[in-house]
Amino acid sequence: MTRVYNFSAGPSMLPLEVLEKAQSELTNYAGSGMSVMELSHRSKWFTDIIETAEAVLRKLMNIPDNYKVLFIQGGASQQFAMVPMNLFGGSKKADYVNTGSWSKKAIKEAKKYGEVRVIASSEDKNFSYIPEITADMIDPEADYVHITTNNTIEGTVFNKIPDTGNVPLVADMSSNILSEEFDVSKFGLIYAGAQKNIGPAGLTLVIIRDDLIGKAGESVPVMLDYKTHSESGSLYNTPPTFGIYMAKLVFEWLKELGGIVAMEKINREKAGLLYDFLEESSMFSSPVQKEDRSLMNIPFVSPSDELDALFVKEAKAAGLETLKGHRSVGGMRASVYNAMPVDGVKALVAFMKEFEQTHS
Ligand code: PMP
């Protein structure tokens, strides 16, 4: 059985080189006589792993010195709660932008902790576009503004990061972190579940500006306080050690490839192949407004549910896996994260062309 092209939205493909490197070190990591899974998180080997992971990530994303990098657990979903629990230190007001299902979940959770205002939404058009955010929409007293930079289910992306002035910008970057260049200094806090562009599920990355740490109230559980993880170098308790090790390998792979600039170029090429075909196709189309189309998650539809189902089934038989759209929107979705090779997208487009000829 050869490997398939897996278009899953997450967990998703990891670079083959990374999997092979992990395999080669699996039973005896760096002469320790143990696998990484068996190593103490306080051992010299693991210290080197977590420090290297952070150092390489800092270089890749050009993270300024006044930001902490935290390797924690709970997924992006836990950040939906940790962000308000930690950042509602002032007015207890926050501005949220509603661009899809994940934004909605973040909004719902934040409402438990303070006053949440939705300053813009694209729900009126099925989340098929990104609303414009201007400075005058933002409450200058808000403790933070929250956006979802890439909407995994709906396939939209913020191409312009809003300028929120002195109000810290918080971003759920789960599905496009490391895929294109971001100026970290524009954000107060960035969070991402690992299972798309970072590594295996179970690890969550938080990049947080120093002045936003230490604002949590007394009642916030120790594990949900950014300060706990910041002060202990993400080693307050046992962190997801194998996930951090895999993330280190992914960061090193990305660095080797030429960093985020090189990766973004490849991602634009991959997405371009698919979007160009969707423009010319007489069977398939994109439901997303052109200028807001994601490089990572590309939804598309055929004229009927029956054809959609047949497409997914036949694609699977051709080694193109997990193309069914999210259950909430239907149709198809190709997630083409960093680890998806250009050849995988070429194979998908070739298959779509063939399907169109056979079934029209
Ligand atoms: N936000 C976004 C944008 C996502 O894509 C996802 C997961 N697909 C989540 C949040 C939830 O992440 P997790 O499963 O890590 O809690």
Cα–Cα distances (Å) from 179 to 268, 322, 349, in that order, read 10, 21, 21
Write down which residue in 241, 256, 271 finishes a domain. 256
Q: Are residues 63 and 211 in the same domain?
A: yes
For residue 326, the model assigns a pLDDT of: 86
Whether 56 is in the pocket of ligand 1, judged by its Cβ within 6 Å, is: no
Q: Are residues 35 and 104 in the same domain?
A: yes
C-beta neighbour count of 118 within 10 angstroms: 14
Enclosing H/E stretch for 334: strand 332-335
For residue 316, the model assigns a pLDDT of: 97
Query: For the residues of 116-171, what is the DSSP string, one character each?
Result: EEEEEE-GGGTT-S-----GGGS-TT-SEEEEESEETTTTEE-SS----TTSPEEE
* 225 is a catalytic site residue: no
Kindly report the CATH number assigned to the domain that includes residue 24.
3.40.640.10
Q: How do residues 242-253 score in pLDDT, each as one tens digit?
A: 999 999 999 999
Show the CA angle centred on residue 123, arms to residues 120 and 129, nearest 5°. Answer: 80
In sequence order, which residues have a C-beta less than 8 Å from that of residue 165 and are 6 or more positions away? 135, 138, 140
> Any known ligand binding at 209?
no
Query: Which one from 102, 253, 270, 308 is the annotated catalytic residue?
Result: 102
Residue 268 Cα, ligand 1 centroid: separation in angstroms?
Answer: 23
Q: How do residues 285-324 score in pLDDT, each as one tens digit?
A: 999 999 999 999 999 999 999 999 999 999 999 999 999 9
Under DSSP, the state recorded for 195 is T
> Any known ligand binding at 152?
yes
Mutate to test the pocket of ligand 1, among 174, 177, 196, 337 (most ligand atoms within 8 A of CB): 174
* 172 is a catalytic site residue: yes
Helices (H), the chain: 16-24, 44-61, 75-87, 101-110, 226-231, 241-257, 259-280, 305-317, 342-359
Q: Are residues 207 and 184 in the same domain?
A: yes
What's the chain's average pLDDT? 97
Q: What's the total number of domains in the chain?
A: 2
Q: How do residues 169-186 score in pLDDT, each as one tens digit?
A: 999 999 999 999 999 999
Task: Identify the residue whose C-alpha is closest to ligand 1 atom 10.
Answer: 76
Whether 174 is in the pocket of ligand 1, judged by its Cβ within 6 Å, is: yes
For residue 289, the model assigns a pLDDT of: 97
Cα–Cα distances (Å) from 342 to 158, 187, 198, in that order, read 23, 31, 19
Q: Are residues 140 and 204 in the same domain?
A: yes
* 183 is a catalytic site residue: no
> Any known ligand binding at 148?
no
Q: Could you tell me how far CA 8 lies from the centroid of its own chain?
A: 13
Q: How do residues 62-121 score in pLDDT, each as one tens digit?
A: 999 999 999 999 999 999 999 999 999 889 999 999 999 999 999 999 999 999 999 999
Write down which residue in 231, 256, 281 finishes a domain. 256
Q: Are residues 55 and 197 in the same domain?
A: yes
Whether 35 is in the pocket of ligand 1, judged by its Cβ within 6 Å, is: no
Q: Are residues 221 and 308 in the same domain?
A: no
Q: Are residues 104 and 201 in the same domain?
A: yes
Torsion-angle region of residue 165: left (phi > 0), alpha (psi -120 to 50) or beta? left
In sequence order, which residues have a C-beta less than 8 Å from that of residue 60 and are 6 or more positions away? 178, 251, 254, 255, 259, 260
Kindly report the CATH number assigned to the domain that includes residue 10.
3.90.1150.10
> Any known ligand binding at 150?
no
Are 230 and 68 in contact, with CB atoms under 8 Å apart? yes
Q: Are residues 102 and 177 in the same domain?
A: yes
Q: Are residues 191 and 321 in the same domain?
A: no
Overall average pLDDT of the 203-208 stretch: 98
Q: Closest ligand 1 atom, CA of 151?
A: 3
| pLDDT surpassing 80 at residue 1 | no
Distance between CA atoms of residues 144 and 171, nearest Å:
10
| ipTM value greater than 0.95 | yes
In sequence order, which residues have a C-beta less than 8 Å from that of residue 247 and are 6 or more positions away? 53, 57, 71, 194, 198, 199, 203, 205
Q: Are residues 174 and 273 in the same domain?
A: no
Which residues constitute the domain of residue 352?
A: 5-15+259-359
Are 5 and 321 in contact, with CB atoms under 8 Å apart? yes
Q: Are residues 311 and 222 in the same domain?
A: no
Query: Which one from 95, 143, 172, 292 is the annotated catalytic residue?
Result: 172
Overall average pLDDT of the 27-54 stretch: 98
Q: Are residues 34 and 96 in the same domain?
A: yes
Are 190 and 206 in contact, with CB atoms under 8 Å apart? yes
Distance between CA atoms of residues 286 and 271, nearest Å:
12
Whether 230 is in the pocket of ligand 1, judged by its Cβ within 6 Å, is: no
Write down which residue in 256, 274, 299 finishes a domain. 256
Distance between CA atoms of residues 194 and 184, nearest Å:
18
